[in-house]
């Protein structure tokens, strides 16, 4: 489906801007050197007043791989954006800053660049994520953090999205994730594309994402 009217293009740009955080954090922790995983994510803002979908099904697929024991690279294609005639992708690098030790969590940072190209032109959005994670068993990881997205134009330049989630290994090949975000928490949502939808005190919107990792 392609959008041809100017209002529709404006709405799509707004949707892409909001959807910058519509993916689970991958990786939560860096991979070992040489390790590769296929990754996918689906989910987005909760829209309780909309049918048939109560959640925007923003979908990404890609891969991440361990460049070294402390550095993991990633790349994703944005399938939801492609359904509207917009080519979207992101590339990133995650680094471990501190290994979990006792009550001190593992600290991981990630820098990403989101790129979108379509009728409205080419847009680039730098994104930075910081997470603290705890192993709570041999297969389960709890984590929390914040994503900061740089918006070059159109209001506030920095969009903040606090997040928390859980990752669990299933069998030898799979890892599943469930993550919640207070998306663009510093943006007033009293008017606009998603006016009043799942906001907290009129700001941002609650989002839910599901992730799958397939170990190679």
Structure tokens at 186: 């510093």
SS3 83: coil
Contact 41, 210 (CB under 8 A): yes
pLDDT at 117: 86
Please tell me the predicted confidence (pLDDT) of residue 83.
Answer: 81
Distance CA 120, CA 117 (A): 7
The confidence score (pLDDT) of residue 4 equals 41
**C-alpha torsion 16→141→215→39, nearest 10:** 0
Question: pLDDT per position in the chain (216 positions), as tens?
Answer: 333 445 545 545 555 555 567 789 999 999 999 999 999 999 888 876 655 557 778 899 999 999 999 999 999 999 988 887 888 899 999 999 999 999 999 999 999 999 988 777 888 889 999 999 999 989 999 999 999 999 877 667 888 999 999 999 999 999 999 999 988 888 776 555 444 456 667 677 788 999 999 998
- CA nearest to 18, candidates 140, 146, 183: 183
Structural domains of the chain, ranges and CATH numbers in brackets: 6-215 (2.40.160)
Q: Which residues pair with 180 in a beta bridge?
A: 164, 208
The pLDDT value recorded for residue 14 is: 56
Residue 116 contacts residue 87 (beta carbons within 8 Å)? yes
DSSP string, 45-66: EB-TT-SS-SB---EEEEEEEE
Q: Does residue 79 sit in helix, strand or coil?
A: helix
Whole-model pTM?
0.86
| Cis peptide, bond prior to residue 22, ω within 30 of zero | no
DSSP 4-21: -SHHHHHHHHHHHHHGGG
């Amino acid at each position: 489906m392609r959008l041809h009217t100017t209002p529709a293009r404006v709405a799509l740009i707004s949707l892409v801007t909001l959807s910058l955080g519509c993916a689970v954090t991958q990786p939560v922790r860096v991979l070992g050197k040489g390790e590769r995983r296929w990754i996918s994510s689906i989910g987005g803002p909760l829209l309780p007043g909309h049918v048939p979908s109560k959640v925007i099904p923003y979908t990404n697929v890609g891969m991440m791989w361990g460049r070294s024991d402390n550095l993991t690279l990633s790349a994703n294609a944005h399938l939801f954006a492609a359904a509207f005639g917009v080519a979207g992708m992101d590339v990133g690098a995650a680094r471990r800053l501190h290994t979990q030790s006792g009550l001190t969590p593992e600290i991981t940072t990630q820098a990403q660049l989101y790129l979108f190209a379509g009728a409205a032109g080419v847009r680039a959005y730098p994104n930075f994520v910081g997470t603290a994670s705890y192993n709570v068993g041999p297969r389960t990881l709890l984590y929390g953090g914040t994503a900061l997205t740089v918006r070059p134009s159109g209001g506030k330049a920095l969009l903040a999205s606090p997040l928390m989630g859980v990752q669990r290994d299933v069998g030898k090949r799979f890892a599943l994730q469930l993550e919640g975000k207070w998306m663009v928490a510093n943006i007033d949502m009293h008017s606009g594309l998603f006016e009043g939808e799942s906001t907290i005190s009129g700001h941002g919107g609650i989002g839910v994402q599901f992730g799958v990792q397939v170990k190679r």
